[in-house]
A and B are shown apart, each in its own frame.
Chain A
Amino acid sequence: MPNKTFFWFFLPTGLAMILFIGLPIISTGIQSFYAQHDQVVKEVKKCDPFGCTVSIVVDNEETSKIREAKPLGKFNGFGTYTDRNHLAVDEIKKFWNETESFGAFVDQVTNLPFYKALIFTLTYCLFVTPNVLLLGFIIALSLNAVARKIRGPLIFGTILPMIVTPLVGSLVLFWMIDSQGIIGANIQNLMNDPYLSLKSSKTLTWITIIIYGIWHHSPFAFVVFYAALQTVPQEPIEAAIIDGASRFQRIKHIVLPHIYPVVTFVALISLMDNFRVFEPIIGFSAEGSAQSLSWLIYDNLVNEEVILFGSAAATSMMTIIGIAILLAPVLIRTWKEFKTAR
């Protein structure tokens, strides 16, 4: 396609992307460098049906004057990024100097909200992404081998987890693993431990969410792989069969190299999706045991009665940077291949 045609073809999409993705990210970035003005408070008498007390309120007249002068807030630079609820630079320095063993240091650091969330998010990515790829590939191979007649219904059944809304899917599982639900009660019987609860133990909650993630994301990998498998040429495979190659060898030396670009694509998309894990935490009411970066943003925006825009913006920016770092190796590799191909 000539560059000029491509430009006109891409223009509407590009404009929409700048408008709806680019500008909001820039605005979020700017917001993350600002904090609220110092609150002007005054002591007043407050009366309610239970009696009167003297306590403080925000002085709205004074505050609105300051706000009008500087609507963005107080410039805070990287202050929000480095505070305890984010990168916690000072705290980490302190822990490093105070703790005696490396284990104790790690314990202290993982107790900080941002690192706690980062560790869960990375663990989730590292377990879910490869398993999704593997499971999706195995399902695609098996479905590709069954008789054409029953393939349709089987494919529909397989992509069902993706059709079910994430929140509904996780809620269904949530009730099943309840200590009185079908899975939860059976596990208690099996282990002979009436106090065992999948929801109260941190490790078990993590495992549940990861299994849910694999269940939910596999159909996506399956659909893409299944489509790719249809394009594998039959001649080399027939030749390999005549040469006496086993099924495993055929997959390893012919099928996989052929669909390799698709595998990269699915890996990229999965990594991005998994890094933003959020719905299962809400669905499983797992806030106590598992927090992800996206959940931190949500928490700052809605769980407090006071909305923390600066905090949420800072975490958002760091999530974007995190995704960029995770994707970098794959992107660099694709770029190199693209260059050598030319």
Chain B
Amino acid sequence: MRKILVTLLFLLFGTSAFADCNIKSGSINILANDFPALRTFVETSKQCKGSADFKVTHSSEHNKIAVPALTANPSEFSARIAANSSIVPLMNQDLIRPLDDLVKKYGKGIQDSQLITIDGKVMAVAFMANTQHLYYREDVLKDLGIAIPKTYEEVVAASEKIRASGKMQYPYAAAYKAGWNLAEEFVNMFIGHGGEFFKSGSAEPNINNAKGVATLNMLKKLSELSNPDYLTHDSEAIKVEWESGNVALMTLWASRSGTLLDDEGDPNITKATKLTGPATVGGGNIPAATLWWDGFTLAKNRSDADAEATFRSLAHAASNKKMVADAADQAVWLVEGFVPGPKSIGVIEAVKMGAKPYPMLPQMGLMHGALGSEIVEFLQGKESAEQALKDVEAAYISKAKEQGFL
């Protein structure tokens, strides 16, 4: 009798995770970027899809699809996994719905700190944090007696020392691919110098100044210590460089640490790969990095029934203690019950050091785009830093005028 009771209790508790998402109808279609943590997240939400339709599109081209797909009525996707920057175009075009009612009704396990509120309305539910920080090769630094760099000036000095020792020709790596990646590096470095992208309270650009010049000069110094093909290297390419043992210092996304530290590749390199917080620059006290969150948003142009089904299944993942325990290696989860492991050092350090979040401004995408193409010639040594910054501002102003921001 006792045995049966215990078994029954077990069954009850065993299924309790599924009991609250007994979804009867609706269809769920999710658009998300493609990296391991997001796949885990979506898989977890699928567990409680009930009898709803469940579809997902993981694509690294998600930014290009999102706005057109959500503009359609009814929208192609019922949910979009977005980040600080990619939620902005959705907000600008009024494509996502407030989640207050759904959070109240179904968001039991979601912590308040996970809610992204804009003007008092919940627009997204965050579930993981991300940033770019330093990775270093412990063996190489130890051999040459170099301390773990804390500032980009130390990164430059350390890289020069490694190069002089003849161990590596191009000891530093970062995603400098012309376009979005390169612009992101500028954003990090500019914020590290204490820069503000726009004159306060307006959309007028504010980068052609001493801070902008210092930012460009630092990027140039670092690029000279990188593989000469740096303008074609994205995060994936520098990850490969690292795993081939060509690089000893690197700035890379925290969400990539899982694939660097897994069992694939040379075990000696994996063993010597260590993580540390993001570096500061130019004597500043906040790190030259931006904090990012990833969270889910729901499409406005979709029926309430679909929105409800989608919210319930995604909320299941966004409050899932088992998921964050099982996949603790994959990301810095913002979900309750997450115990940070050695792979989360980068983000945690960044938060401790007071890193700023990526600016969530309506016109920031235009600035990011202008940076990505106009600073290339400076890095190639074809024009001065002042000219490059002037070009960025001019390119931005034309685009902002066309979009009605100026």
Contacts and interface: CB of A to CB of B under 8 A. Distances in A.
Interface in B354-393: 355-357, 359-366, 368-369, 372-373, 376-377, 380, 382-383, 387, 391
Interface in B288-331: 291, 293
B179 A63 contact: no
Given A39-B403, A111-B391, A299-B373, A48 B365 contact: no
Contacts of B397: 84
A186 interface: no
A50 B351 contact: yes
Given A58-B92, A303-B179, A199 B231 contact: yes
A93 to B, nearest CB: 15
A91 B390 CA distance: 13
B357 A311 contact: no
Nearest to B119: A44
Interface residues of A, number: 58
Nearest to B397: A84
A63 B229 contact: no
B214 interface: no
Interface stretch (B13-21, B109-117, B277-285): B109-117
Of B88, B177, B369, B403, most A-chain CB atoms within 10 Å: B403
Interface string B220-240: 000000011111100000000
B180 interface: yes
A38 interface: yes
B73 to A, nearest CB: 13
A311 B369 CA distance: 14
B217 interface: no
Contact of A48 (B180, B293, B369): B293
Nearest to B177: A285
A197 interface: yes
B368 A305 contact: yes
A48 B89 contact: no
Interface residues of B, number: 69
A289 interface: yes
Among A42, A57, A194, A284, residue most surrounded by chain B Cβ atoms (within 10 Å): A57
Contacts of B117: 45-47
Contacts of B360: 46, 48, 55
A58 B91 contact: yes
A41 interface: yes
A58 B96 CA distance: 13
B86 interface: yes
Given A179-B228, A200-B229, A305-B85, A50 B293 contact: yes
B118 A57 contact: yes
Nearest to B179: A287
B380 A202 contact: yes
A175 B376 CA distance: 22
A204 to B, nearest CB: 11
Nearest to A39: B404
B298 to A, nearest CB: 16
A311 B395 CA distance: 12
A306 interface: yes
Contacts of B387: 111
Contacts of B363: 306
A57 B91 contact: yes
Contacts, number: 169
A56 interface: yes
Interface in A285-342: 285-289, 291, 299, 302-308, 310-311
A48 B83 CA distance: 11
B84 interface: yes
A50 B91 CA distance: 19
A42 B201 CA distance: 10
Contacts of A253: none
B69 interface: no
Given A35-B404, A195-B228, A303 B372 contact: yes
B362 A49 contact: no
B105 interface: no
Nearest to A202: B380
A285 B177 CA distance: 8
A36 B403 CA distance: 5
Contacts of B291: 50
A299 B395 CA distance: 13
A57 B231 contact: no
A178 interface: yes
B174 interface: no
A83 interface: yes
Given A305-B85, A305-B86, A85 B178 contact: no
B398 interface: yes
B339 to A, nearest CB: 17
B146 interface: no
Contact of B129 (A49, A64, A83): A49
Given A111-B391, A303-B369, 11 more contacts: A35-B404, A36-B403, A46-B360, A57-B118, A58-B92, A85-B398, A85-B399, A179-B228, A202-B380, A305-B88, A306-B403
23 contacts: A39-B404, A46-B119, A47-B116, A49-B114, A49-B116, A50-B291, A57-B119, A58-B91, A58-B362, A85-B398, A85-B399, A179-B227, A179-B228, A196-B228, A199-B229, A200-B228, A288-B231, A291-B373, A302-B63, A304-B369, A305-B368, A306-B403, A308-B402
Interface of B: 63-64, 67, 84-86, 88-89, 91-92, 94, 113-120, 126, 129, 169, 177-180, 182, 227-232, 291, 293, 334, 351, 355-357, 359-366, 368-369, 372-373, 376-377, 380, 382-383, 387, 391, 394-395, 397-399, 401-405
Interface of A: 35-39, 41-42, 44-51, 55-58, 60, 63-64, 74, 76, 80, 83-85, 91, 111, 113, 174, 178-179, 194-197, 199-200, 202, 284-289, 291, 299, 302-308, 310-311
